[in-house]
Structures are given as structure tokens and as C-alpha cells.
Structure 1
Amino acid sequence: MKKFSVFFSVLSVIVVTILLSACGNTKSGRNNIYIVVDSVEKDSFLEETKSGVNDFCGDNNFNFESLTCKNESDFLNKLDFAGENGSLVWACGAYFFDDAKKAAEFNTKSKYVVLDSPSDDKTTNLFGVVFRTEESSFLVGYIAGMTTNTNQVGFVGGINDDNIATFEYGYKAGVEFAAKERKTNINISSEYVGSYADLAKAFSIGDEMYKAGNDVIYQAAGAAGLGVIESAVQNDRWVIGVDVDQSEIAPKNVLTSALKHCRAIAKYVSEDIIKNNFKNSNKNTYYFGLENGSVDIPSNHDNYSDELYEKTQNIKQKIISDEIIVPKNKDDYETFKKELQ
């Protein structure tokens, strides 16, 4: 009897172990999709991307989890963990690229997507998503240039890098285009917060720029941009939103917004990669712009005229048809200005 007792005890342990192992495989297997972010700050860009990935997971029975890095030294740890335990990993920001590449090389069965960065063409399980933000920035720049009364407009960026350069120089080109149409000169000033989370510093920068005579500022500074919006309210000036329609935050001060439809794109790319379609991937990089409606401006335009909205729509079509080539860096911008004269 004792022998049977021991036998059944051992058998029970084996069965429980197998069951636990099976459960573990379900939770940490190929049915997980992770998104890795570097900040707990509320950022419309990140929130929309998370929602899009979560939409895909909900529709396709995948588990969704968001991982927040403590600092830069934690990037690789989180990306590696996600790759070991999931089938798809989203890295939210171009600054993740180097660590995402390393993690992708470690975890060849998982696929990685870096938002706002092209892929390197060599790492087969590494993908990039690039929004042509210079195009929507050109449109809001044109609106700013046609709206300013002081002929002084500004730009406030988060971190000064190649990604935010597309916002800055696309915007400046749009302002220059408007200045030519108006046959006037418009001064454009640029400042950087050095962070995507420092609302107080962003407020201070915006406040100083408004007091210096800028009556329109385009902010592309993540969560810190809310500080610029607050400074617009305090100074009763115009501000241009980014990523989502930010008019609800300050209806009387948000002139327009440069949109990125992150939610729809995150869902689409997740499905495309999981199903191995790669329909719109060019050498492992997905490009999204005005042509496919992935960047744009809001159709509501309570703070500027129907006539200006229609003019902006005509310019949009010229960008789509390549009649206007929008610059995305300083060199291209300088060339654009020369050709515009």
C-alpha cells in the first residue's frame, strides 16, 4: 500500500509539472506580442501605437504586454526578454534601433519592428516603420505661414535628431512656400527641449518664443509638447499639435495638427508581419505618407478659413504627385529654398 502511495505521489508531481509547463508555454510562447517603450509619460504617439497593437492582439487571440524601460541601459534587456517570450516585438522609437538589431540577432525566431526608423536590409527579422512626417509638417507649415500676423513663427522639438528633423524642415519648407505666395519674408525660429517629457522646460521655451513675437509655434516634442500648448493658452497665441488632433486640449489655440495614424498602421503592420505578407515593405521597411492617408491634417478647421483649407488640400495633391518634393533634412531644405526663389 505504501508503494502505491509513493507511486501516486510521484505521478501527481509529474502531472502537475507537465501542466504548469504547458501553462507556461501558453503564456510565454509564440502567442505573445510585446511593445517596448522608454517612458511612462502619456504620449499620444505611444498611446495610439499601443492601441493599434492591442487591437490586432484582441482580434487574433494574441496576448499583449507593454514593457517600460528604466533607462537606456535597460533597452536591450527588455527587448531580449520580449524576443525570448514573444513572436513580435515593437520598439517605440528610432533610438531603440541598435539594441533592437542586437536582440533580433539573438532571437531569430522572433520578429522586431522599430517605429520611426528604417531597417538595415540585412537583419531578416528586423523591420522598420517610417512615417513621412515631413509631408504633414509641410501642410501645417503652410497654414502657419498663411496665418501669422507678425511674420514670426516657431518650431519646438523634443530631441534634436534625424527623426525630428523631418518635422522641423518639412514645417519650415511649408512656411517658406506660404511666404512666397504672400510675397513676404517670414522669420522661423527653432528650439529643442532635449527631452520628450519635460513639460516645464517646454512651457518656458514656448513662453519665451511667444513673448519674442512668434504668434504660431509647431511643437513636435511628445508629452513635453503639452507644455508648449499651455504656453500658447497663457499667451493667447496659436500652437500646432502633433501626431493626433490636439484641438480638444485647447480649442481656441490649436490652429491645426500634423496627424500620424499610428493606431491603424500599428495594427496593419502587426498583421502583415505575423502573416508573413510584407505587402508594403520595401527591404523590410514600411513607408507611410500622404499618398496612403497615413499622415495628414484634420478635416475640421474651425480656426482658419475654408479657403485656406482648400488651398492646403491642393498642395497636398501636389506633394502626392511629386510636383512638390518636401525636404526632410537641413541640406534638402536649403536646396528647396534656393529652388523656390
Structure 2
Amino acid sequence: SMRGAEFAELMAFMAIADERSFRGAALRLNISPSALSHSMRSLEQRLGARLLHRTTRSVAPTEAGQALLERLKPSVAEVEDAVRDVAAFQQQPRGLVRINMPRIAAQLIVMPKLAAFRAAYPDIRLDLVIDDSIIDVIGRGFDFGIRSGSIVQQDMISVPLTPDLRMAVVASPVYFAERPPPQSPAELNGHACLTYRWYETGALHPWHFDGPKGPVDVIVDSVMTANDTDLLLEGALRGCGVALLVESRVEKHIADGSLQRVLMDWCRPFPGFQLYYPSRRHMPAAMRTFIEWMKLSDGVASPLAV
């Protein structure tokens, strides 16, 4: 491996070849001409080749020197770029940030803030991957996951993004005109339900309720399963059946009468969405910037007045 002194000798050689003068190079490197001569003699001895033709008036690379120069230039430019990039990263964050989240989190949390984020940090690119399943997000190469706080692993650093969430059981008035609305989870039996299926495992998501006597999980009768909550919402709006969806996603439909809500007393709040990531000493500026931006409350409280 190369020692610091050897690297310095190569840089000195490049400066001399560039300036075509020992004095000019010594000035540029801020060392004495005699130290520079000594440095060059040491380099030529080590390489066993003459690198410079010296005359009283000028200095020029030998053939061997020219060959070495051509090999060194791109490498040194690469090193200088790397150093400059690190400095630039601190000033103007740039690079790619990969986030894995459920569709609802993208709709309620990230998208409302996207335009302002893009304006503030034009050099940061976001890769948003919609994934409603519970996967090892970090193990898959994502920088961040966004999930409900109830399922974030213990060893992660997490940043709360929303207040508590609640689920809502909904169907269209057209659907309920033909069947009596259920008064308890048990009465969901026989209802046409639109359910979420984990794509990764194929498992059906049981409908979880909290009653006076504690938690109740119901495996409902599915007429349609989907791994996309938007499809479940659309199915409910079209009168195809009953869906269990995050309250903030269906509020406006309940308000305008296109959906009717049931079993409200059985749907207790649960921990809201959190941004999570593993602890790391040296976090890229783009990641740090994204965390700070998501912490700002402006885009959080408004779409999620839960």
C-alpha cells in the first residue's frame, strides 16, 4: 500500500510537469525548491526511471514521465472529485433516497409535502416504493420505511409522523339498503367483504376489533381480495361489499354520503405512522434532510386530522 510521502511525491511530480518549472511548482505546493528537488530524486530512485528532463531554462517529462502522467491524471481527478463531492454533500444535499411505505402513507404523508420538498432540494431524488406488506425494509436496501408504530421493529430509530390512526368499516348505502348493517363484528358473518391479502405471503389480513371484553379478530367472508387498498375503496364505493380501511382515507366519502360507517365503537386508535431507519454514524446528507423535512409538522397535521 502507498505511504503518504509517496503519494506526495507523485503529486509534486504532476505539479512540476504542469508548471514546467521547479520554482513554479514549489510555489504552488508551498514548499522550498530544494525540498522539491529532493522529493523528485527520491521518486525517480524508487521507480528506477528518469521522469524529468531538466535543463537550465525548462523542465519537461521524459517518455517514462509522460506515460506515468497519463496514468495518474484520471486517478487524481477522481480523488479530487470525490473530495469535492463530499464537501458539496454537506452544503447542498444530493443523491437518492429510497422509501418503502404503504399506499395510504404515500397519499397522506409524502405526496402533500412533495412539491415543497422538490423546490427546496432539487438535487435529491426520491424512489418511492409502495408496499403494504410487512417486510424487512432495511434488509431490502431501502433507506427508510414508513409503517404504523405498532409494527416497527424495536432496534430501529423511529420518528412519529402522524397522530394515532383508526380503522373504519364502510360500505355504500346501496349495499346496506339490501342487507342490515352489522351491529357487532360477529354480524359480519354472511356479509360480502372486500379484504386485503398480503402479496408476499398470500395471508389474508384478519379484521381486528377492540370490544368491551378485549380484542376480537374476525376472518370474514371475502368476495374479493386485493393487495391494493385503493381497489378495496373503489369496490366499497361501487356497492360491491364492506371494506376495512384507514379512517382518514374514507372520511370525505363518509361526509358526502357515498359511504356509510358501521362498528365505530369497535375500532380503537392504534399507533400512527412512523418513519424508521437503522442507526448509522455517518448518514448521507440527503437522508438527514429527508428526516428533517418529514418531521416538519406543516404537511402532517392537516391531511390527518384523525
TM-score normalised over the length of structure 2:
0.40
Which structure has the higher relative contact order (CA within 8 Å, separation 6+)? 2
TM-score normalised over the length of structure 1:
0.37
Larger Rg: 2
